[in-house]
């Protein structure tokens, strides 16, 4: 079969958006390595076959066992596997206007063009994992320029793979009018009410998309050509050009736009009620300029590098004092302009979380505090609402006090520790025992 070099090269670049299967991650394997992989207790860390792209039925396909990406290539008239990395590197140095001839032999594939050829070892097509089909319960068409950026904005708040709770390792969609999106790792969370609508159907009211599938979708949306629209009014053409078609079943989610499709297994389980975890109206608010805060925090962290457990923030008048301590006797503090909206106050938060939040922001951030151990609310422009759990630290008696709510327990933390889990949906304050232990999100 023959195909223009540029066409194949573009398809391979899109398929490179999937995470590398040879990165050493461990996954569970099912159905002889060809199925979804979460049903069996057997384990695989690497499947070399996944380093290939499958050409079949007018399409180029790649999968990592959980997520599959398909690019339409009508020129594909035969079946074969191409080693993705090798072919991608080879085609970088071939004129894109050349015609590439692909010939399949016995465990070999030959690529030839006007100026040369290459013969590569090829795996058996029959060994490639089966890509499942979806029987959708829910169908929808959403504006990709609204959906994809909102999904990507949640990635920094998903739990890592070592967390052990899959439901926190993805982005949660709360279906309805409007569509709500959230993510949380147990110590912080993000929440956004979108301008999109995707009604629930039957028992499917929430969908959790794996974080790596969201990242892959972001790669595809930024790289793939969007479908042209030639009918309808100008307004309809503009809106339709950026549409993503969604299909959702009980275990799968499919997205399609232009020549690209993504199919992923959704994370099974019910996500936390993130919306209920957001403080309704924190009694103590303070505003500060994000760039000032970011620069000051970086300076503090460079001074006290060892064992920084918390950054203490104390505000009154028109300023905020930031301070950190290391394991020894070193201390550092800086003052930045701030605007308290409800009087003086104080709170202590993990500096890593704070730095990740303010990074790249160029305007005013509003921070809302409930109690010294309650969720801290952050608002910035049109960004998602973010909640971060504070750290329990000891405070000198002569500092301004953020008054606790009448029913909150006495705060007597002996050391810097996370106050509690942001996943405590009932909103109760931690007991003395809980305050002394690292928090752990609930499933």
For residues 112 and 145, membership in a common domain is answered with no
Q: Is residue 133 assigned to a domain?
A: no
Q: Is residue 443 assigned to a domain?
A: no
Q: Is residue 377 assigned to a domain?
A: yes
For residues 286 and 388, membership in a common domain is answered with yes
For residues 335 and 403, membership in a common domain is answered with yes
pLDDT of residue 29: 37
Q: What are the beta bridge partners of residue 331? A: 325
For residues 328 and 423, membership in a common domain is answered with yes
CA angle 376, 309, 357 (to 5 degrees): 45
pLDDT of residue 106: 84
Tokens representing 442 are 């609930």
Nearest in space to 277 (alpha carbons), one of 388, 178, 124, 362: 388
For residues 411 and 290, membership in a common domain is answered with yes
User: Which of 127, 150, 176 is at the close of a domain?
Assistant: 127
Q: Is residue 59 assigned to a domain?
A: yes
Give the relative orientation of helices 211-223 and 5-15 as an angle to the nearest 10 degrees: 150
pLDDT digits (tens), the chain, 443 positions: 999 999 999 999 999 888 655 443 434 333 333 333 333 333 334 689 999 999 999 999 999 999 999 999 999 999 999 999 999 999 999 999 999 999 998 889 999 999 899 999 989 999 999 999 999 999 999 999 999 999 999 999 999 876 668 999 999 999 999 999 999 998 999 999 999 999 999 899 999 999 999 999 999 999 987 655 445 555 544 444 588 999 999 999 999 999 999 999 999 999 999 999 999 889 999 999 999 999 999 998 877 665 567 899 999 999 999 998 876 667 889 999 999 998 899 999 999 999 999 999 999 999 999 999 999 999 999 999 999 999 998 887 655 555 444 343 333 333 455 555 666 544 333 333 333 333 333 23
pTM here is 0.82
User: What is the span of the domain harbouring residue 46?
Assistant: 2-127
Give the relative orientation of helices 290-303 and 351-358 as an angle to the nearest 10 degrees: 140
| CA contacts within 13 A on the Cβ side of 170 | 25
Q: Is residue 148 assigned to a domain?
A: yes
Measured in whole angstroms, the distance separating CA 283 from the mean position of its chain's CA atoms is 31
Measured in whole angstroms, the distance separating CA 146 from the mean position of its chain's CA atoms is 15
Task: Give the chain's domain count.
Answer: 3
CA 354 to CA 340: how far, in whole Å?
18
pLDDT of residue 130: 92
Q: Is residue 132 assigned to a domain?
A: no
User: Which of 63, 92, 127 is at the close of a domain?
Assistant: 127
Helix (H, G, I), strand (E, B) or coil at 9: helix
CA 421 to CA 387: how far, in whole Å?
11
* Pairing between β-strand 339-340 and β-strand 345-349 as defined by DSSP bridges: unpaired
Q: Specify whether the CB–CB gap between 125 and 81 falls below 8 A.
A: yes
Helix (H, G, I), strand (E, B) or coil at 169: coil
For residues 144 and 90, membership in a common domain is answered with no
For residues 309 and 366, membership in a common domain is answered with yes
Q: Is residue 108 assigned to a domain?
A: yes
Q: Where are the beta strands (DSSP E) in 266-363?
A: 284-289, 311-316, 319-325, 331-337, 339-340, 345-349
Report the 10 Å Cβ neighbour count for 95: 11
For residues 285 and 245, membership in a common domain is answered with no
CA 119 to CA 410: how far, in whole Å?
73
Per-residue buried b or exposed e for 221-237, using 16+ beta carbons within 10 Å of the residue's own CB: beebebeeeeeeeeeee
pLDDT of residue 24: 38
For residues 123 and 143, membership in a common domain is answered with no
Q: Is residue 105 assigned to a domain?
A: yes
User: Which of 243, 269, 295 is at the close of a domain?
Assistant: 269
CATH of the domain at 81: 3.10.150.10
Give the relative orientation of helices 5-15 and 84-91 as an angle to the nearest 10 degrees: 140
Per-residue buried b or exposed e for 321-355, using 16+ beta carbons within 10 Å of the residue's own CB: bbbbbeeeeeebbbebebbbeeebbbbbbbbebbe
Q: What are the beta bridge partners of residue 203? A: none
Measured in whole angstroms, the distance separating CA 396 from the mean position of its chain's CA atoms is 39
Q: Specify whether the CB–CB gap between 168 and 211 falls below 8 A.
A: no
For residues 388 and 332, membership in a common domain is answered with yes
For residues 71 and 170, membership in a common domain is answered with no
Please report the DSSP string for 24-35 in residue order. Answer: ---EE--GGGTS
Report the 10 Å Cβ neighbour count for 186: 22
For residues 189 and 94, membership in a common domain is answered with no
């Amino acid at each position: 079969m023959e195909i223009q070099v540029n066409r194949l090269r573009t398809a391979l670049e899109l398929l490179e958006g999937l995470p590398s299967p040879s990165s050493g991650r461990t996954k569970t394997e099912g159905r002889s390595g060809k199925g979804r992989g979460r049903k069996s207790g057997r384990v695989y860390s690497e499947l070399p076959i996944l380093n290939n792209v499958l050409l079949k039925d007018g399409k180029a396909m790649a999968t990592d066992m959980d997520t599959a990406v398909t690019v339409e290539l009508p020129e594909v008239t035969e079946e074969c596997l191409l080693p993705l990395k090798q072919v991608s590197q080879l085609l970088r140095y071939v004129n894109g206007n050349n015609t590439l001839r692909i010939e399949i032999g016995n465990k070999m594939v030959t690529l030839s063009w006007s100026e040369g050829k290459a013969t590569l070892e090829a795996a058996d097509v029959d060994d490639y994992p089966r890509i499942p089909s979806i029987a959708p319960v829910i169908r929808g068409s959403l504006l990709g320029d609204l959906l994809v950026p909102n999904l990507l904005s949640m990635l920094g708040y998903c739990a890592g793979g070592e967390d052990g709770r899959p439901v926190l390792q993805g982005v949660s969609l709360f279906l309805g009018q409007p569509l709500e999106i959230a993510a949380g790792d147990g110590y912080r969370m993000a929440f956004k009410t979108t301008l999109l609508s995707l009604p629930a159907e039957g028992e499917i009211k929430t969908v959790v998309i794996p974080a790596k599938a969201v990242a892959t979708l972001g790669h595809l949306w930024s790289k793939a050509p969007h479908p042209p629209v030639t009918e309808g009014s100008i307004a309809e053409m503009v809106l339709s050009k950026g549409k993503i078609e969604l299909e959702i079943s009980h275990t799968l989610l499919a997205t399609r736009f232009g020549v690209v499709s993504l199919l992923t297994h959704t994370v099974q389980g019910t996500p936390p009620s993130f919306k209920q975890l957001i403080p309704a109206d924190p009694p103590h608010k303070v505003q500060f300029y994000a760039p000032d805060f970011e620069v000051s925090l970086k300076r503090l962290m460079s001074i006290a590098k060892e064992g920084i457990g918390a950054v203490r923030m104390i505000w009154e008048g028109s300023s905020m004092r930031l301070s950190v301590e290391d394991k020894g006797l070193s201390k550092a503090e800086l003052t930045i302009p701030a605007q308290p909206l409800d009087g003086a106050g104080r709170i202590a938060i993990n500096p890593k979380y704070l730095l990740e939040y303010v990074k790249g922001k160029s305007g005013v951030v509003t921070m809302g505090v409930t109690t010294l151990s309650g969720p801290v609310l952050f608002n910035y422009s049109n960004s998602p609402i973010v909640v971060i759990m504070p750290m329990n630290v000891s405070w000198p008696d002569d500092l301004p006090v953020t008054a606790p709510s009448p029913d909150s327990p006495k705060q007597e933390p002996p050391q810097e520790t996370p106050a509690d889990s942001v996943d405590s949906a009932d909103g109760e304050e931690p007991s003395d025992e809980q305050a002394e232990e690292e928090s752990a999100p609930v499933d």
